[in-house]
Structure 1
Amino acid sequence: MTNRNLMMLGAAASSLFLINPASAQDAVSARPTSPEAIDGKGEDIIVTGSARQQRRFDVSYAVNAFDADAIRDLAPKNMAELLGTLPGIQIEGTGGEVQNITRVRGIPTDRGYLYFQQDGLPLYHELDGFFFNQGDGMNRTDLMTQRVEVVRGGPAPIYASAAAAVANVITRTGTATPQGEAQLTLGTTGLYRLDAYQSGPIDENTFYAVGGFIRQNDGYRDSGFPADRGGQIRANLLHEFGNGSIKVSGQYTNDHNIFYLSIPTAYPNDPSHSLNDYVDFFNGTLASDGLRDVNIRYRDGAGVVQNQRGDLANGRHMRFGNVGLDYEGDFGDWHVLAKGGYTEGRSHFDALYSTSNPVDANKFASGYLSAATTAFGSGVASLGYALAGSNGQTVYDPYADSGLVVSAQYRSIDTRFYSGQGDLSLTRKFETGLGSHDIRVGGYGALWGNRTFAAYQNYLLQVAGNPEVLDLVAYGADGAIKGYVTDNGAIQIAPSLNSGEFDGQVIALYASDTWDVTDRLRIDLGLRHEWYSYNGFRRVTEVANLGDPTTLADNSTRAFTGAIVSSSPKVEATNWTVGVNYDLTDNLGFYGRASQLQVPANAMVTINEGSSLASSKAKLFEAGLKLAFGRSYLYLTAFYTKFDPLNASFSAYNPATGRSDQTVTFVGTAENKGVEADGALHVAGPFKIAGSVTVQDPKYLDFANTSGADAGAIEGAQIVRQPKVYGNIRPTLDFVLGSDRLSVYGRYDYVSRRYVDVTNTTALPAYGYFGGGITYEHDAWRLQIVGDNLTNAHGLTEGNTAGDTLTGQGTPEAVFGRPLFGRNVRLVVSRKW
């Protein structure tokens, strides 16, 4: 990372030490565009991770809140991008609207154990379903989102299962004052979106709120079909009693979203030679119109060949409904809080995953010549390419293009799921001679399950954006077709097949004590124990030949044997936390915390062959400084995370089988030490600057393999795809023009060097990019123009995960990855009433 970039990222945080309290108090009275919805000192009330509502400044953990106005000002393209505004949360938001990556303080998973809730309960109990609940998968923001509160570390393991962080999406409820809003968004990516909500009273004690969105988007890359289409609606009724309230809520989501995967960006044998002329860095994707009618043939348990149809334009089709019931009331000194929810839905997931690097077309073909000769006879003289579906008649010459061909994997996954969850807690404050104790005891329970079918198929593609699907054809000396290596473009039919079903159950008991020793010293403790019980089965598969003599593609498929393997494991987990907060003055405070996070195996162990029941366990430590004057603030947190043991499996794609079956499992530790800063500076006049920065050292330690594989190259290596520095700066000029408001703002994001593999042999280079926008408000109208990656900066995320996590890509820097989206602009017009 250059000194210049370090200076840019550090400016927002370091300048806050020079805050002039007097000038901060004179700051222009305008709504802030930062994750702190009201002010830095914590007049914003936090409900996530504590027994009762508390000010942000008073809690002894790292927490941020985005209110509805802050979310609109930030104008994120997806939930991950919103969370990426915060320190300690590294994101890869290049997958599209959903299915993006979030990592918390170096935790070595693609979700970082970031647990999503809606109004204090998950929509689906487990952190990840089978390709449908990766946080943003079931949680989309719209005008019905009142606020999003995010707790990093701290008491997260006490208030949610397997959580190193909690993102709580709090929905809007009605009040005695009728209000509503409509918002239209138009984008240069072919985006058309309408959001709206309405709320108000039914009678003096009963209130309603209803709203949602509908949207179509051609997409951030040229896939040849709409990328996102659908919407959702959420509604609730709130009735207030003399001593509390009850709320009934409902949600229905029906949405299609494309999942963008990695693309080749340079020749593997000549990384200096770009493939941009064939697959555009900003607009290109391997998604193809030729995969709109996929047929995956497989043999069922009775020996009958079945057909699984797929359409890549279907994308990630999520349909689910949720109903919820929330009650809270005061009975003397006791506060009762009861929440319940039930979700049922279906996700049909169609996506094209990258597998191997592009290969010279002649070299690729020659690798199949011997097998083709054996299968189709000695009359086979050569192999050549043709467009799939043309019966070999439309010849394709790769050397008229890049000279390369590439294979990719179509994944068709159908999951039906349900999840019922509930939480009941009692809170009471006790006064003692040594301060007061606010004690909360509660229980959480959930019943959930899913039924899953997954079939994968590998295709041969042209190296191009929206490529043609290719056949590899065996020709005789006279040009006659002798047979096909492929089958209508499929290089391997159904090399992966998975089907199973499970039901899960968890019962958790938890307790916390917030002890106010004095008006400046607070100690809090928490304990949670969980009992899990799973019951499920998977259908056994074997290698099979479907018997088509005209193609090699079906010679080594997976087929169901008719047998099933059932299992009913039981696991437990214990988590605890201890924190202390001391406010030296009204503007300066300190806090510290230690927690244990135990992550047990989830219910998918009953479906996935070879899954381990072993749990991972982490110790989480943090110490923070809080500095706040008016709307200027700095929250500085040092953290230390150590997973011991960490059970980690790394897989690589095997071209011979068409599966990611080259798996090596290690047991060891993962360690991350770092500092995160979150701050805003408001000076006299219109200028303010906000931002966050995280500096960390995520690495693997003490890895060993039970089968004797050498782990020496991993020792001390930087954790896969995790940077040492990342953050953003957001300067703003706010002008109050009578009753109107004009805001001009910018944003710079930076991510330092990362690695695609555990041995750190192939790097993802550092990158930074600019965004900005203008907002004008007049009476009830609001007009916003926002742009992302305004300079078309280059940056790669992810790499080629199917093939490079073990040994890299064979190059010092990645030639295959998921690039940043190119420059895009959105116009947002809204009106409140």
Structure 2
Amino acid sequence: MLNRTRLLASAALFALPTAVYAQEAPQTDYTAPAEDEIIVTGTAGGGINRQSAAFAITNITADAIAKAAPNSTADLFKVIPGVSAESSGGQNGANIFVRGYPSGGDAEFVTLTTQGVPFFSPPTLSFLENTQLIRVDETIARVEAVRGGTGALFGNGQPGLTVNFVQKEGGSEFEGLVKASIADYGDVRGDLVLSGPLGDNTTFLVGGYYSTGHGIRNPGFSPEKGGQITANVRHDLDKGSILVFARYLNDHGQWLLPIPVIRDGDKVRQFGNIDPGTGALAGRETRLSLLPDGSRADLADGRGAKLINLGTNFDYEIGDGLQVRYRASYLNGNADTTGLVPASTAQSASDYAASLGGTIGSLTYVNGGGAVAGTQQVIRAGTWIVRKQIEDFTNDLNLEWKSGNNKFTVGAYFSDFSSNDQWNLGNIRLLTAENNARVLDLVLADGRVVTNRGFTQGSFFNVNAAYDGREYAFYAVDEYQITPELRFDAGIRYQNYKATGTLENNNFGVDVDGNANTLYDSNTAVLNGTFNTISYKKGAWSWTAGLNYDFTSSLGAYVRYNRGNTNPFFDNLRDGIRVSPRVDNYEGGIKLRTDLVSLYATLFHTNFKGLVTTVIGNGGPQASIGGARSTGVELEGQIRPIDNFAIAFSGTWLDAKYRNFFANNGATDLSGNRVQRQPKWQWRVTPSYDIEFGSDSKVSLYSTFAYVGDRFSDTGNTQDLPHYFKIDAGVTFDVNRALTFAVTADNLTDKVGLTEGDPRTIGQTGGEVVNARPILGRSFRFSAAYKF
């Protein structure tokens, strides 16, 4: 937690700009033609024309966001080439992978920023990827995503993917939007945005949404609930401006986890009555539970966040060619997780009893007590609870000096963040392997009691910990326009990271009641009241250099090298892993933009050292450590052959393999294996056609055809995930300038595609029942919006 002194310092830093501020770039007209695209992410703050940028960036406009129709924040990232975004976990709990960067899940090499400043400096922690901390709504003007390139210098020094959410702002006239939407499975949502002037030089915007429902995977209750409110005020000064913004998020959704499916080669079939696209193990019987340690759990709490985020951007011209910029963010809140996590594959109750060395004495429903046949398919799944109280204060101050064709920027970055964690993992119950599973009690014929209120096991891993991290960084960047066609930029960054923590120790394998015949409490982890401390401190240099050459106003090319570093996360330090990942990235690209076509093509090669991939299984975290190498090509663009018709496309080819990478405490060499969860091929094509009726009415038709190639779910390459092809579609009817109706279809053909296997059950063969997490099934969303 930040102490009182730092909180007062934070307040002072937020107040400072109001005395003399500007957004990180001049206010952009988001309806501007493509040749006027101004990109602010990956720059020192002044912004740059996309055609002149010597790094790979994707600019997702509000119109592109609407066509993508994302089911979650992470789901929007599927339009970014080089990125694999698995949003099958629901609104939260996504896994996001970048350019072959190895990781076991969450979003280890992804930094999220709003208005150019990170709102939580660690890119990820166990059970917390940062898309959990922000939602896409009607207050977002555009989203910018930088891959590699200059990202290693700015913000928190992210060498992977930096995504910036740029808010809409008020204008000179009062205006607003009201929008209501409903899904065919019953979820409803309302959006509202208001904006306008507060004076001659001051504008405001306030907006947000609220939603509720049971979700497409209906558990029999309503875990999808909550909303977000965003507001900002901008004041223009004679030589600059100030933007102050605030965001309140209180939103939770069901954490969607692997379910049983039948694998038959590349075919995936339904198991029992659990529909791959809409089924869920969670149900009314598993929703509420009194855990073996006496704590209570409610699966309706799901995964989400309740937080406040405050921020400011300040830009002021001190003198001729001299400009100061300041960006800051403060975040405080909770990011909790409650979910039903499979602990075994499905099998008959008789086979399960045999695996315990016995036969069934009695098998009954906990609720009602009725007898259950030994042929009943059963599965074990645990109620996991993770509580995180997080806090972050981040600020970035830089000074820019322009002289002739040269622009030099020097800056300082400081971040102070904390996470207080309480975990209770395990709490495994015996369930019927069916949709909305029921809870079972089992006693073996030899008298051994397998379950107690359905529980076969208590906790297998607990965490009671308080972590603090602090990072100081200094950076310098020089940009020089050598000729009208040739531009050079280079920069360095030094960052110093310090982490401390206190954590309570576990006793493992405890037989709570000392009775060998009660199996349900014979292998339990218990916090024992003794504590360990962690302490880590290290500094590292990052640097980059790039050249951009414009052959014509429509055709350009660039080359770049960058070295980046990341810090070991709190969770790694807790487990005694102190390696610091290092990334060396080489890339080059071509940029073409004409009336007919826009094309951005990037070739990259990346070397990784000191990487950690962690999976939490029965018994706690299991880590693999080493390096990797990836080579790939990214394409994105748009073809406009005739008026009102366009074809947008993006795609990635990736060859990523582990090098000097070891599991099982160094005993297993995984070198040469493909990096997990990332396909060699993936692509998207989105044709769209506008039919105009007069000057105010228009019908827009669009569809997206997406392909995700074969992958491996695990580092050992034993769980293969087959390729799949998915189709989305939509139609929008602008009745006039005020009224709009829309229908979007997700997974129109109801395709079954797997995004992850089961990290706790490694290995599978054809025709076998396995646990896996499929993409969401076919759904439709209807919306109506009114602008005024």
Uncovered stretches (5+) of structure 1, i.e. residues with no partner: 1-35, 299-306, 371-380, 477-481
The question of whether the paired residues in 2 share the 8 Å contact of 1:580 and 1:591 is answered with yes
Q: Deviations over 1:482-510 (max 9, x none)?
A: 56311211111112111110111111111
1:369 is displaced (CA, Å) by 4.4
SS at match of 2:79: coil
Equivalent-residue separation in structure 1 for 2:327 and 2:615 (angstroms): 39
Residue 439 (structure 1) aligned with residue 399 (structure 2): no
Q: In structure 2, what is the Cα distance between the partners aligned to 1:129 and 1:757? A: 19
User: Hey, what's the Cα distance between the residues in 2 that align with 1:483 and 1:453?
Assistant: 32
CA displacement 1:793-831 (0-9 Å, x = unmatched): 121111112232xxx235598833111211100111111
Q: Secondary structure at the match of 1:422?
A: strand
Quote the Cα distance in structure 1 between the aligned partners of 2:665 and 2:121.
Answer: 34
Matched residue, 1:136: 131
Q: Name the amino acid aligned to 1:429.
A: K
Relative distance call for 1:511 and 1:756 in structure 2 (3 A) is same
Q: Which residue of 2 aligns with 1:425?
A: 398
Cross-structure match for 2:338: 350
Any idea what SS the aligned residue of 2:134 has?
A: coil
**Structure 2 CA distance, aligned partners of 1:683 and 1:267?**
43
Structure 1 position 484 matched with structure 2 position 449: yes
Distance apart, 1:646 and its partner CA: 3.0
> CA 1:229/1:708 → structure 2, altered by over 3 Å: closer, same or farther?
closer
For residues 767 and 611 of structure 2, the distance between their equivalents in structure 1, rounded to whole angstroms, comes to 28
Partner of 1:26: none
The 3 A distance-change label for structure 1 pair 350 and 783 is: same
Shift of 1:452: 0.9
Whole-angstrom distance in 2 between the partners of 1:547 and 1:781 = 67
8 Å contact kept, 1:764–1:814: no
**Residue identity opposite 1:396 in structure 2:** V
Distance 1:174 1:91, change over 3 A: same
Query: Post-superposition shift, 1:363?
Result: 2.0
Q: Aligned ranges for residues 35-74 of structure 1 at < 5 Å?
A: 42-51=35-44, 52-74=46-68
Instruction: Indicate conservation of the 8 Å contact 2:623/2:664, yes or no.
Output: no
CA contact (8 A) 1:42 1:58 kept: no
1:473 aligns with 2:443: yes
Tell me, what secondary structure is at the counterpart of 1:568? strand
Query: Which residue number corresponds to residue 771 of structure 1?
Result: 728
Residues of 2 paired with 1:767 and 1:50: CA distance?
Answer: 37
What is the SS of the residue equivalent to 2:598?
strand
Q: Give 1:340's aligned residue.
A: 328
Instruction: Identify which range, 596-605 or 726-735, moves more after superposition.
Output: 596-605
- 1:186-222 deviations in Å (ceiling 9; x for gaps): 1112121011111111111121111100001321212
Instruction: Give 3-state SS (helix, strand or coil) of 1:720's partner.
Output: coil
How far 1:337 sits from its partner (Å)? 0.9
Q: Give the conservation status (yes or no) of the 8 Å contact 2:120–2:130.
A: no
Q: Is the 8 A contact 2:662 2:671 kept in 1?
A: no
| Offset of residue 684 of structure 1 | 2.0
The answer (yes or no) to whether the contact 1:296–1:455 under 8 Å persists in 2 is no
State the alpha-carbon separation in 2 of the partners of residues 296 and 226 from structure 1.
Answer: 22
Q: CA deviation at 1:384?
A: 3.4
2:596–2:641 CA contact under 8 A, matched in 1: no
- Displacement of 1:519 after TM fit? 1.2
Residues of 2 paired with 1:398 and 1:137: CA distance?
A: 41
Q: In 1, are the aligned partners of 2:429 and 2:455 still within 8 Å (CA)? A: yes
Task: Give the equivalent residue in structure 2 for 1:321.
Answer: 308
> What letter matches 1:576 in structure 2?
W
**How far did residue 291 of structure 1 move?**
2.0
1:820 aligns with 2:775: yes
Q: How does 1:517-666 map to 2 (within 5 A)?
A: 517-543=482-508, 544-547=510-513, 549=515, 551-606=518-573, 608=574, 610-630=575-595, 632-649=597-614, 653=617, 658-660=618-620, 663=622, 665-666=624-625
Q: Secondary structure at the match of 1:156?
A: helix
Correspondence 1:196 to 2:184: no
CA contact (8 A) 2:340 2:382 kept: yes
Which whole-Å CA distance do the structure 2 matches of 1:410 and 1:82 have between them? 29
Q: Distance in 2 between matches of 1:263 and 1:583?
A: 52
Find 1:791's aligned residue among 714, 739, 749: 749
Q: C-alpha distance in 2, partners of 1:404/1:349?
A: 28
The 8 Å contact of residues 61 and 591 in structure 1, kept in 2 or not, is answered as yes
Q: Alpha-carbon deviations, 1:65-86, whole Å to 9, x = none?
A: 2222332232211122211112
**Change in CA separation of 1:41 and 1:240 when aligned onto 2, cut-off 3 Å:** closer
2:168 aligns with: 172
State how 1:276-425 maps to structure 2 within 5 Å: 276-298=271-293, 307-332=294-319, 333-369=321-357, 382-390=360-368, 393-399=369-375, 403-425=376-398
2:472 match: 507
CA distance 1:534–1:759, shift in 2 (3 Å): closer
1:749 counterpart = 2:706 = yes
| Among 693, 701, 719, the residue aligned to 1:737 | 693
1:784 aligned partner, one-letter code: A
User: How far apart, CA to CA, are the structure 1 residues paired with 2:278 and 2:614?
Assistant: 33
CA distance in structure 1 between the partners assigned to 2:765 and 2:520 by the alignment: 28
Counterpart residue type for residue 819 of structure 1: P
Aligned ranges 1:693-712 → 2 under 5 Å: 693-704=651-662, 707=665, 709-711=667-669
Judge conservation of contact 1:176–1:200 (CA < 8 Å) in 2.
yes
Distance 1:825 1:394 in 2: 39
What's the offset of the Cα at 1:130?
Answer: 4.4
Structure 1 range deviating more: 721-730 or 313-322: 313-322
Relative to structure 1, the CA distance from residue 101 to residue 385 in structure 2 (aligned partners, 3 Å threshold; closer, same or farther) is same
Q: What CA deviation, in whole Å up to 9, does each residue of 1:268-297 have, x standing for no partner?
A: 9x9989543321111111122222222223
CA distance in 2, matches of 1:278, 1:212: 38
Which residue of structure 1 lines up, in the alignment, with residue 98 of structure 2?
104
**Deviation, structure 1 residue 689:** 0.5
Q: Is the 8 A contact 1:41 1:587 kept in 2?
A: no
Cα distance change, pair 632–742 in 1 and its aligned pair in 2 (3 A): same
Deviations 1:227-282 (A, max 9, x none): 310001111222211111122221111111111111110279x9989543321111
Q: 1:317 to 1:766 in 2, by over 3 A?
A: closer
The amino acid of 2:523's aligned partner reads S
Q: Which digits, 9 at most, give the CA deviation of each residue in 1:780-803, with x for residues without a partner?
A: 111111101111112111111223
Q: Do the aligned partners of 2:650 and 2:684 also contact (CA within 8 Å) in 1?
A: yes
For the Cα contact (< 8 Å) 2:327–2:397, is it kept in 1?
yes
Q: TM-score, normalised by structure 1?
A: 0.86
Q: What residue ranges of structure 2 are gaps of 5+ in the alignment?
A: 1-28
Q: How does 1:144-163 map to 2 (within 5 A)?
A: 144-163=139-158
| Percent identical | 29
Q: Deviations over 1:559-611 (max 9, x none)?
A: 122110012211223211111100001111101111112112123345x3x23
Letter of the structure 2 residue corresponding to residue 367 of structure 1: S
C-alpha deviations, 1:686-730, integer Å up to 9, x for none?
32111101011111123346955131xx33221111100001000
Report the RMSD for the aligned CA atoms in angstroms. Answer: 2.2
Take 1:68 and 1:295, find their aligned partners in 2: how far apart are those partners?
45
Q: 2:236 touches 2:242 (CA, 8 Å); kept in 1?
A: yes
Deviation at 1:613, TM superposition (A): 1.1
Shift of 1:420: 0.9
Distance in 2 between residues matched to 1:700 and 1:813, nearest whole Å? 28
Question: One-letter code of the match for 1:559?
Answer: V
CA distance in 2, matches of 1:489, 1:645: 42
CA 1:40–1:625: 2 relative to 1, 3 Å: farther
C-alpha distance in 2, partners of 1:410/1:353?
Answer: 6
Change in CA separation of 1:494 and 1:289 when aligned onto 2, cut-off 3 Å: same
Give the secondary-structure state (helix, strand or coil) at the position aligned to 2:491: strand
1:293 is aligned with what amino acid? L
Residues 587 and 507 (structure 1), Cα distance of their counterparts in 2 relative to 1, 3 Å cut: same
CA shift digits 1:111-139 (9 cap, x unpaired): 2511100111122121114423x131011
Q: How does 1:677-716 map to 2 (within 5 A)?
A: 677-704=635-662, 707=665, 709-711=667-669, 714-716=670-672
Corresponding position of 2:219: 223
